[in-house]
Every structure is written in C-alpha cells, then in structure tokens.
Structure 1
C-alpha cells in the first residue's frame, strides 16, 4: 500500500505539470493558463477519447466498489478461517485490481479544474501523510474511494454496491447456517449468547447490514415508501434481537424515524439557521463524546468500573465507549500526524479514534467536511441525504467502521465538499 499511495500522489503531481504546460501553450501565457485551469473542468493528460474515458471511468469505479464490497463481506468473514487461501492468495489479487480500477478512474476518467484538484489533492496528501504514521489501510482505502467517486452518479454507485453486497452477504449466511463456515453459531460474552452470522464479531455483521440499508436509502431517497421505512425499522429490531448489535440497531431505528420525518417535510430547502443547526450536530456529538470521559471517576480495577452512577449507566448503554476513551486519555499522547495504537484500549468512538490514530489535523478536516455536507444538503432540501449523514455521525460515536465504505456508503455524499463543488451542483452530479 505504501507504493500505491506514493504512486497516486506522484501521478497527480505529474498530471498537474502536464496540465500547466498544455494550457500555457493553448492560452498563450502563464496568467491566462492559470485562469483557464482554475475555472474549466477537463480530463487529465489531455482531452483524447473524452466520451469513452468518462464512460469507462464510471465502470472502473463501480468495479472497484464491487471488489471492495466483496473482499470485506466475503473474504473477511469466517470463510478466511476455513479457507486460508482467501486471505493469502485471493484478497491480494482483488485488492490490486480494485486499486488499479480506482487509480484509472482518478487519473484518466474524471474531469477536474484546479480548484477541485488542488483541494482534493491536498486532502489526499494529508491522508497519505497520516497513513504512513497510523498505517490504517481502511482509512487510505476510504480516501482513494472518495477521490475516485467524482462524476459518478450516486444511483449508479449504489446499484453496484447493492448488486455485489446483497448476494455476497446471502452467500455468507447460506454457508454459515449450513455449518460450512461456522460449526458453532454463537459466541459467549458476559454470560449472554450473541449470534455471529458468519463473522468474527456480531458488530461486524451489524455494520455490513447497516451499510446495505444505507445504500438502499441512498438509492431510493425521496422515492422511499412507508412500507420501506417499516422494513428499515424491522431490520433494526432484527439486529437488536439476533446478533445484539446495539450500535447498528439503535442508529438504524434513528434512521427510520428521521426518514419518516423527511418524508413528511418533502423537498423543502432549509433556511440558513436550520442548515447551520444540522451542521452543528457534528461539533455537538464530537464535543459530547470527548468531554464525557473527563467526568469519569475510577472506583475499581476493571475498565468499566467507573462513577458517578449516571455516567456508568450511560457507559453500559454505549458498551464502554466512555470508559475506554478515558483510558486512552491516560495512555496516549496526541501526535500531529497520528500514530499506531495498541490493542487496548479499543477506541470505537470515531472522534477519539481519529484524534489519536490520525492526529488533530485530520480530525478537524473530517469534522469540517461533514459539517459542510450537512449544511449543503439541508440547504438543498435533500433530507434523505441529511438523515443518512446524521445516522452515520451517531454510528461513528460507537463504531470506527464508518471508515469502511461497506458500513458507510453515505461517505460518498462528502464528494461535493471534498472537491469544492458548488452546492447547487451536488444533486446534479449525483443524478446525472
């Protein structure tokens, strides 16, 4: 991955240089060249085969997204324990094809102006910088997917996501309940049994299901019917009763409620104060998640043996997210470009996790991008998109799986902010 990360960065620099030289000759001077490059969207490395490159670029993105989904949903299920060659031989090949598809889309199948390229390129440079310190492959993969998503209709992306994810998950469940993948279908934690559904942890299964439901919502959006909203709530109840994946279940119930409210509101654009309140949710959730551990009082040797009583009860509801963050505050120093984390404490709070794994710079950038996206979609009256982002925001309070596209396809909604595209064009880019 280090080679891939460096190769993409160098290729983007080379593309910018080719852009400047070609525009210099075409526009007749450096000032005119820079004005043209800043305003006009164009393909990198020249306009040759534009129609075919744009079309093939979308196919390349969908191929990469489908391979990403397959490698997570199947190759990272308990199938890897029964068939070790999946991780040793198959996954590396699929990963290589996936990244080559994304790189081809980024370099050859996307139009940029230098405003797009400059901001997105700077964000990728920061992502690569912190990846070299934290070495979290999921984060770098997310950064590459978001770079490749420009100019891809959201509906097309979600069709590829669901077209691979649903049958692959169905295959895992068939193999699991047939006894091929997991002879023992339960795991024991604290005296309670939780169904694994073919994965190493119930929350992994819950996150995959949550991602598929989000993809369905983003595919349907304003066309969602009441029966579909009831289906979302039913899946949430299933996750709560079956694998007892509380984080995914609670966020999916919230998703169903917010979608019902969005259906009643319709497509009314939010006034600026209301849109600003939507954006402020990011700062509010982040502040609460990082301030609550400061009130912890240790009253015993176990990680969750904390007081006061109200905080202990909240910590139990959030399955030790608060007490583990408290432990992290005492074990880690904040490093500007992140660091590799130890196995304990497990940081499932995305705000605390980003702070320590990737550093405060990236945490601030991620929060700003999320706030811009919430504000923009609220101003557009795209309430289904707002709903998905809010659900993901609260899911991130309990799970770092929001760094996986398989659990967070709503991350694609950040593309407008990442590429500095005017808000008026966000829905147009998604629907074209």
Structure 2
C-alpha cells in the first residue's frame, strides 16, 4: 500500500495548493478560506458527491469489517486463497473507497485541510517505517469519516459484522473451520470460537457491542445495558477474554452513570469535570510508561520479576508489564517508528504505538483523544465519553484497538481531527 499512501498524500497536497490559489490571487479573503467549506478540485455536482461519497465510505467500512471478521478468522487455514488472493483485492477496494471519499466526497475549509493533512502526513511517514497496514487503514478511515452520520456508519458495521461473525460461528461449530476449538493454558481451556486467539474473538464481539451502543447512545434502555453486561459475562466465561469482558462491565457502569446523570435532560459538564476526563489520557500513558521502570528481573522467564506487588499486577495483566520492560531493553525508540517482531508482544497501546509509530504520532493521538473527551464532556454527550474512556482501558490491555472492528469509537475523534466546531462532532 506504499503507492496508495504516496498517491493520497500527493493528491491532498495538490488539492491544498489549488484551494489556496484564490487567496494568492486575492479573489478570496484568508479568513473566508480558513472558515468556509468547499470541495477539493471543483465545486460541480456537490449534492451527488456528498451522496456517493457517503456510500463509498460505508462500502469501505463494510469491506474492512469483512476482511477482519471473516478473512482473518481460522477460515484462512482452510482456504489459504482468502489471504493470498481475496484479501489483497478487498484491501484495494477498501482503500479506493476511502480515498474517493477523502478527495471527491468531502468538504474542507482551510483549517480542516491543514489539520487533516498534517495528520495523514505523519501517519504516512510512520507507516513507511512500521509498515503496519492496520494503522494506515485506521488513519485513512478516520479521514474519510467526515460528514458521514455516525449512526449510518454503525449501522453499516453491524449489517456486515453480525452476519459475518454468525457465518464464522456456524462454520466453526459445524467442524468446517478450526475443528480443534480449544487450547490449553494453565490447566483450563479457552475456546477460540473460530479465531486464532480468544482475545481476537473477544475484540470482534466487543466491537459489535460498542457499535450498538454508539448507534443507540442516549436512547439506550436498562434492558439493553443488561444485554451488554450479559455479553461481558459470556466473554468472561466462554473464550475467557478478560480484557474484553472487563471493558464490557466498565462500559455498562459508565453508561449507567451517564443515564442517571441525563435522566432529567442533557447536562453538559463544567470545565473541571471535562478537564478531568481529558486528564485520563496522560494519566494512563504515564502509568503505562513508568510502571515497567520498577521491574526487577529475578529469573529467566518473562514474568519472573519483582517486587511482589508488581509481580501480582503483572500476573493480573498477563505479563503486559514485564513484556513492556523487555521492550525497553530490546528496542530503541525511533522518532518515526519501526517494524516490530512477534516478541515481545506489546498489548499496551501506549507502549505499542511508542515503538510502532514513534513519539510524534503518540503525542498526536493523545492530543486528539484529550480534545475529544473534553469536547464531548463539555457538550454533555456522556455516552460518547463512556465509550472513549472504556476504549482507553481496553487499549491499556490490547493493541487491537487500532482495528476499527474492535474500536469503532475511534470515529468519535473525527471532529477533533478536522478541528470542527463541537456542535458538528456527531453528524446526524
């Protein structure tokens, strides 16, 4: 996808230059260029471009969902051509849909072009070093999401994800894919449900649950919250995916608090409360980076560490702290990221992105997350805040929050990415 990344950056740069020419020719005031939204390249057929641009994004989103949920299930072991022939074609379909939406189906003002263009420049820069296609796909999807109603995006994810996951489970329990459905760990069995790891299945299920929550938001009922809690119980008991299960329980708790807070109508948060929500990002980042510094190695195995309190916490997090400590000693931190081997497995998103994408991208991501949390809290959109806080907790335990299928809440960052007014952060 190097060619796509280069071409998209080149077209965005060309479009920005052409868009600024009227200012240089004094046909457009700089203030108007900065505020007023326009299409790139030409203003013709605006209504059709908005309509078909939205369709292109939704199609790309559904293709993305299918690639992850089906092509990356254990079906790839039965039918290798899914990975060698089908997935490359679907990748191109997905990226061309997103690219068409970005270049032809989206309106920008000067501020949006600068902010979004800078983000993609850094994303393309780190992609060339880390070569993680999922990270590039996430950034491109986020750019393409502008002006598409969040509810439509979530409906598209559910319309594709639910039947595709059901197909995987039917094939699995029919014995067609992954007939040996259990792996042994510490004397117990963790069911795979047709995937290569139970946490992969847990992430797919949790992503669909989160998509439903984002679709319903303020309309969520108590029975629906009970259903989300039941999904968490299933994830804890079935695949024993603790990270997804615990985050499901956290999500239910936060949504219940949001429901109680807004039972008499919307209640925007004050600056202190909103600032506290935003402060969760640097706080969790600091914990992620500082805790491994206290590790004392006392044995040959990855989790043979001290002191005892850190050992207990590390065991609870399935060696995530000790593996981060190992990464500190194995990798150098490179400003534009690097390719990562299979070991040590970095399931903490802050540590993972620090090495995969470098510190510049980490700062950008944290700034966007803080801006989103602050903005939604100030507007009183507490369901969005609950989803973002939950994904912060999930990211502390799983790096697959870089997949839209596990973290559809990343689309909530779209307003911050394009520096939109807060009243436009959730297009409806």
- Counterpart CA distance in 2 for 1:275 and 1:45 is 39
CA contact (8 A) 2:33 2:110 kept: yes
Shift of 1:34: 3.2
Match of 2:4 in 1: 4
Match of 2:423 in 1: 424
Task: Tell me whether 1:82 sits opposite 2:81 in the alignment.
Answer: no
- Counterpart CA distance in 2 for 1:100 and 1:245 is 34
Match of 1:213 in 2: 209
Task: Tell me whether 1:299 sits opposite 2:298 in the alignment.
Answer: yes
Shift of 1:309: 1.3
What pairs with 1:176-215 in structure 2 (closer than 5 Å)?
A: 176-215=172-211
Aligned partner of residue 127 in structure 1, secondary structure: helix
- Counterpart CA distance in 2 for 1:405 and 1:10 is 25
CA contact (8 A) 1:278 1:374 kept: yes
- Counterpart CA distance in 2 for 1:199 and 1:314 is 28
Shift of 1:342: 2.1
- Counterpart CA distance in 2 for 1:34 and 1:75 is 48
Match of 1:237 in 2: 233
Match of 1:340 in 2: 339
- RMSD across aligned positions (CA): 1.1
- Counterpart CA distance in 2 for 1:224 and 1:2 is 42
- Counterpart CA distance in 2 for 1:183 and 1:33 is 66
CA contact (8 A) 1:19 1:46 kept: no
Which is further off, 169-178 or 284-293? 284-293
Task: Tell me whether 1:96 sits opposite 2:92 in the alignment.
Answer: yes
Q: Which of 239, 251, 261 pairs up with 1:255?
A: 251
- Counterpart CA distance in 2 for 1:97 and 1:355 is 30
- Counterpart CA distance in 1 for 2:405 and 2:349 is 16
Q: Which of 203, 224, 227 pairs up with 1:228?
A: 224
CA contact (8 A) 2:38 2:107 kept: yes
Shift of 1:24: 4.8
- Counterpart CA distance in 2 for 1:200 and 1:57 is 35
The two structures have a TM-score, normalised by structure 2, of 0.98
Match of 1:289 in 2: 288
Note the residue ranges of structure 1 that are not aligned, 5 or more in a row: none
- Counterpart CA distance in 2 for 1:363 and 1:50 is 36
Match of 2:26 in 1: 29
- Counterpart CA distance in 2 for 1:341 and 1:98 is 25
- Counterpart CA distance in 1 for 2:18 and 2:32 is 14
CA contact (8 A) 1:131 1:139 kept: yes
The two structures have a TM-score, normalised by structure 1, of 0.97
